[in-house]
Amino acid sequence: MDVTIGESTVDGTAQAPPSKSYTHRAILAAGYADGAVVTDPLVSADTRATMRAVTAYGGSTDLAADEGALTVEGFDGRPETPDDVIDCANSGTTTRLVTATAALGDDLTVLTGDDSLRSRPQGALLDAIEQLGGRAESTRRNEQAPLVVGDGIDGGHVAIPGDVSSQYITALLMAGAVTDEGIDVELTTGLKSSPYVDITLEVLDAYGVDAEKTAEGYSVAGGQRYAPEGGEYHVPGDFSSISYLLAMGALAADEEVVVTSAVPSAQGDTAIVDILERMGADLDWNEDAGEITVRRSDLSGIEVGVEDTPDLLPTIATLGAAADGVTRITDAEHVRYKETDRVSAMAEALTKMGAEVEEREDELLVYGEDTDLQGATVDGRADHRIIMSLAVAGLVADGETTVTGAEHVDVSFPNFFEVLEKLGATLVRSE
């Protein structure tokens, strides 16, 4: 599906979707348990992949008709051997988290996904599992899926780099809680995207599992049981998705955009509020009510490091293209290893829309003072975050902007374009 967005103003109230990061962890944690009810989950292509994995390992998932609650019957710690290959589709989070689950099994599990997922690095996690005595191989011997994993790890000490993906650490901590010995994770480099591990610790705590940050890295004791209080876990709103709603308000609000379900949490992407304020946005965050109100503002370029907030790079790049001055996004090399190379994708698309952009190995510079955005046909790269950011850019570009492959918003914000229409944007869908 392609979506064409005309230059538009927006106004009104929009509810943020539930957090994808929390939903993944909550579903798998319920799988490790006897079971649990996950309330207000994000139901998307990615989180359905995690549901399928839990089912493959011997659990089950039952989604309420209104999608407001997901009842999970767990596999109680140790997974069964799947009857078939686990298809993680396009979900890198699913792949990494349930690869560590596979390492708990006595037999072998095969994990794969789509073309994009099979190009993403998994080597450090495979090496970590082998350090723990498990089997973990890439069928193509290139450290990428398809993966073959198993042989029943019992825990131990593992050394792993922290500058490729924090999901490796999350995977090991979640699996380590049900091993006999627990897992001590030693980081051999600095940790990027560390707030995502904070999310993991928060979810583990809610499920009654103790894990902690240590001088060397992280540690989780073995022999623990997953059991959330009252048998339920509630998923908070997603700040990665909130970033697009706030950006469209700051750039294109006629009066104001109010974003609900914006409750403070461990999410690193809450940084979007501070970033917008630094750029000069007129916004107010009522943290108790979980509401952020934003008005159209004259923005100025700033320097932003995305070491801990890689998912914000596309949003920040769009804001920079509509701001005065230069927006410099630094510490961005790891953002090249997402669903697509997001640094290159945003540089290419914004350039096509008339922006002056400079791409470096670990930086993206957007020269807003030299930019007059024009409508164009741009490639969404089958990446939900690229698609939504370019749709926001289309609101303030002269003429019409067509974003290709727009159906991929289903990964994290399935009703994004419905919300955009409700706020008053002019858009047309075409197959």
> What sections of 181-255 are H helices per DSSP?
194-206, 239-252
User: What CATH class does 2-17+237-430 carry?
Assistant: alpha beta
Instruction: Indicate the angle between helix axes 20-32 and 167-176, nearest 10 degrees.
Output: 20
* CA–CA gap between residue 16 and residue 13 (Å, rounded): 10
Active-site residue set: 311
Average pLDDT over residues 192-203: 95
Average pLDDT over residues 217-236: 97
Average pLDDT over residues 183-194: 95
- The confidence band for 371, taking pLDDT boundaries of 50, 70 and 90, is confident
**How many Cβ atoms sit within 10 Å of the Cβ of residue 123?**
15
Q: Note the pLDDT tens digit of each residue in 73-104.
A: 999 999 999 999 999 999 999 999 999 999 99
Query: Position of tokens 């926001």?
Result: 392
pLDDT for residue 121: 93
Q: Note the pLDDT tens digit of each residue in 256-295.
A: 999 999 999 999 999 999 999 999 999 999 999 999 999 9
Contact 195, 168 (CB under 8 A): no
Q: Is a pLDDT exceeding 90 seen at residue 339?
A: no
Q: Note the pLDDT tens digit of each residue in 127-143.
A: 999 999 999 999 999 99
* CA–CA gap between residue 45 and residue 91 (Å, rounded): 8
**Residues present in the chain in total:** 431
Contact 399, 367 (CB under 8 A): no
pLDDT for residue 10: 98
pLDDT for residue 153: 98
**How many Cβ atoms sit within 10 Å of the Cβ of residue 58?**
18
Q: Is a pLDDT exceeding 90 seen at residue 431?
A: no
Fold of 20-234: UDP-n-acetylglucosamine1-carboxyvinyl-transferase; Chain (3.65.10)
Query: Position of tokens 């792949």?
Result: 95
Q: Note the pLDDT tens digit of each residue in 17-68.
A: 999 999 999 999 999 999 999 999 999 999 999 999 999 999 999 999 999 9
pLDDT for residue 370: 84
Instruction: Give 137's strand partners.
Output: 148
- Mind giving me the DSSP string for 99-145? HHHHTTSSSEEEEE--TTGGGS--HHHHHHHHHTT-EEEETTSSS-S
pLDDT for residue 21: 94
The residue ranges of DSSP E strands in 64-103, in sequence order, are: 69-73, 86-87
Domain with CATH 3.65.10.10 in the chain: 2-17+237-430, 20-234
Angle at 300 between CA 248 and CA 322, to 5 degrees: 45
Q: Note the pLDDT tens digit of each residue in 376-424.
A: 999 999 999 999 999 999 999 999 999 999 999 999 999 999 999 999 9
Distance separating the N- and C-terminal Cα atoms of the chain: 5
* CA–CA gap between residue 205 and residue 239 (Å, rounded): 21
Q: Note the pLDDT tens digit of each residue in 103-118.
A: 999 999 999 999 999 9
Average pLDDT over residues 307-314: 96
